[in-house]
Amino acid sequence: MKVRNLIFNMAPVLGLLVLVIGYFVVGTINGINVTYGLKAVVNQSVVVAVVATGAVFIYTMGSFDISLGASTAVSALVAGMVYLRTENLILTFITSICVAVLVALLNSVLAGVFNLPVFVTTIAMLSVLNALILLLININGTGSEVKVPSDAVKSLDTLGFKILILTLYFAICVFLFDYTPIGRRQKFLGGNPLCAKLTGISINKYSIIAFVICGLGVGLGAFLSIVYAPTLTRSTASSVGMDVIIAIVFGGMPVSGGAKSRIYAAVIGAFSMSFLSQIMVMFNLNSGVGQMVKAAIFLLVVFIAAGERKTRTLPR
């Protein structure tokens, strides 16, 4: 039984290992430069991994934020516009963090003060942020993009810088999640909100903390987006919102949150999805077929990781 549980628990990690091995084997057989491909994997994964790591705090409480991609885009656009005015990268960095944290605070305070379901608040926020993206691009004058000069961020567009940001943020999150009352109480709230409330844990307080930590990740993700692709358009970070959900689930995080939540799920999931995408590219599959295979593997891995289900009723 213990071995079986261990396999279920380790399924996402094993899945990532299989994908890494698969990537090198397929790449070598097809005569593809795997080192160059690795760079692409890191570039694809790092923004999603950073944003998703922060989002784990929200998911742990059994909540759900669908506006993270749009929030990343708005933060990147405002920060990009600040750079165009000031040509100061530090100010750009601070702006992207502040805007993202502000949006996160607005989400959590709206939900807390007005007693709204968090998910519904984030749906409305998604609409507002998507509109803001259009407005910000129009305000900039060109009507289609906010262009930060690539030379300005060239020095930061390195694997070292990106991995450093991810590692630092991940370390902070691991500390907060596994070694402080913040993580423990959030797991308690996710597992049994009524019981947690009766023991004196404030849902609103921990919800705001979760959103602020997540906002920090969104801000970092926004800055990394500027560094990687300094020409910001409507499609900047457009897929991040859904990729974050996929990454978290793929990494073995239960969507209902609670005690089984894992902080490392986001990083494992983000890198797994990128390796999978790279393997699809190596097979030179039609984009549609590639996405179908990706979907099937996603469901299979999550199914294995979920383990045995003994309930008489279907999960909701």
Partner 1 sequence: MNRGSLSVGKRILGTMAIPLLAFAVTFLVCAAKGVALFETQGNFLAFFRATASVMLTTFALSINLNSGRFDFSIGSVALLSSVISATIALNLNLSAPAMLVISIIAGAVLGLISGGAYVITKLPPIIVSLGMTLFFEGAAFALTDGYGVSFVTKAKLTGFPSITNYILVIIAALIVMILIFDYTKFGYEYKALLSGQSVAVNMGIREIPNTIGCYMIAGSFMGVVGFLSATNTGTIQMSLNFGSIGVMFTAFLPMFIGGFIGRFSNDKLGYLLGAMTTALISLMYARLQMDSSVQQIITALILVVFLIYLNNENKLVELRMLKAKKTP
Residue 315 interacts with partner 1 (CB under 8 A)? yes
Among 86, 127, 150, 155, binds partner 1 (CB under 8 A): 127
Q: Which is nearer to partner 1, 78 or 216 (CB)?
A: 78
Q: Is 259 a binder of partner 1 (CB under 8 A)?
A: no
Instruction: Tell whether residue 42 is a contact of partner 1 (CB under 8 A).
Output: no
Matching residue, tokens 């885009």: 73
How many residues in the shown chain lie near partner 1 by CB under 8 A? 50
Q: Is 256 a residue that touches partner 1 (CB under 8 A)?
A: yes
Beta strands in the chain (DSSP E): 146-147, 231-232
Residue that is written with structure tokens 């000031």 in the block? 86
Partnered with residue 231 across adjacent β-strands are 147
Residues 131-150, interacting with partner 1 (CB under 8 A): 131-132, 134-135, 138
Alpha carbon distance 248, 263 (integer Å): 9
Q: What is the DSSP letter of 257?
A: -
CB 247 within 8 Å of CB 133? no
Q: Which three-class secondary structure string do you get for 78-137? A: HHHHHHHHHCCHHHHHHHHHHHHHHHHHHHHHHHHHCCCCHHHHHHHHHHHHHHHHHHHH
Q: How far is CA 49 from the centre of its chain?
A: 5
Q: Which stretch binds partner 1 (CB under 8 A): 45-53, 190-198, 200-208, 249-257?
A: 249-257
Q: Is 124 in the site for partner 1 (CB under 8 A)?
A: yes
| Only segment of 16-24, 93-101, 114-122, 161-169 that touches partner 1 (CB under 8 A) | 114-122
Q: Which is nearer to partner 1, 184 or 294 (CB)?
A: 294
Binding site for partner 1 (CB under 8 A): 110, 114-117, 120-121, 123-128, 130-132, 134-135, 138, 239, 242-243, 245-246, 249, 255-256, 286-296, 298-299, 302-303, 306, 309, 311-316
